[in-house]
């Protein structure tokens, strides 16, 4: 017997709650979110199989994501005397809310952001290094993906234009993204974006 729970998954969701930021500060929870966002509802055991992890290691992290409101229970199913719980993310894509980096953000929110930022860029670093290690002798990084590190000196109007163009790219990717995990013709790519002012650093502080 299957018990379904009404829910409507969003296309995108902006994170602004401190508990949600804390929930995403753990690398394994980020991987759980990515797995669920790219598939139909799954049980913790099914997620563990995809991530090549033991289910017992995931239960605590799934509970944390559930408590933070980033995933939800979609339905339960009876199977050999046990109740299987199926989860999905509340949205297919998660974005950082504009107030997360505000000067008025409380200290505990800023402290919670630090491990989340480390998680995002540590994952990106590990994946890029793996690409380099596994690349063939004739392959170049630019043939596989893009890596750029640019310091810009622009007028405020130009900065705003760049911001809008970057937002437009993200909106375009969101509109064409197809999370259907059963399609064999789809390739999985990652885009990590950071665009921030260097002249905001306090004098004498180390970036």
Which pLDDT tens digit goes with each residue over 19-60? 888 888 888 998 999 899 888 899 999 999 999 999 999 999
**Tokens encoding 22:** 């804390």
Which pLDDT tens digit goes with each residue over 1-11? 444 555 678 87
Which pLDDT tens digit goes with each residue over 103-138? 555 666 667 777 778 888 888 888 888 888 888 888
> Which spans in 25-155 are helix H?
27-37, 44-51, 55-67, 107-134, 141-144
Give domain status of residue 165, yes or no. no
Give domain status of residue 10, yes or no. yes
Q: CA 31: distance to chain centroid? A: 8
How many folded domains does the chain comprise?
Answer: 1
Give residue 23's domain range: 1-145
Percent of the chain with pLDDT over 70: 85
CB burial of 90-125 (b: ≥16 within 10 Å; e: otherwise) equals bbbbbebeeebeeeebeeebeebbebbeebbeebee
Domain at 98, CATH number: 1.10.10.10
Q: Is the pLDDT of residue 171 over 50?
A: yes
Give domain status of residue 101, yes or no. yes
């Amino acid at each position: 017997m299957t018990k379904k729970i009404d829910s409507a998954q969003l296309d995108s969701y902006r994170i602004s709650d401190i508990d949600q930021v804390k929930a995403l500060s753990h690398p394994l929870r980020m991987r759980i979110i990515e797995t669920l966002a790219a598939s139909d509802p799954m049980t913790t055991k099914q997620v563990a199989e995809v991530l090549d992890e033991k289910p017992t290691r995931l239960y605590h992290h799934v509970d944390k994501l559930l408590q933070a409101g980033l995933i939800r229970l979609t339905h339960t199913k009876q199977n050999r005397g046990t109740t299987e719980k199926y989860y999905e993310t509340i949205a297919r894509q998660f974005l950082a809310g504009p107030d997360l980096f505000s000067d008025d953000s409380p200290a505990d929110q800023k402290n919670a952001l630090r491990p989340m930022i480390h998680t995002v860029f540590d994952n990106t670093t590990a994946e890029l290094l793996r690409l380099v290690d596994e690349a063939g002798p004739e392959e170049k990084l630019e043939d596989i993906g893009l890596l750029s590190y640019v310091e810009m000196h622009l007028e405020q109007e130009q900065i705003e234009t760049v911001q809008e163009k970057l937002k437009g790219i993200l909106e375009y990717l969101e509109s064409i993204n197809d999370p259907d995990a059963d399609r064999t013709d789809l390739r999985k790519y990652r885009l990590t974006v950071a665009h921030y002012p260097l002249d905001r650093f306090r004098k004498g502080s180390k970036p």
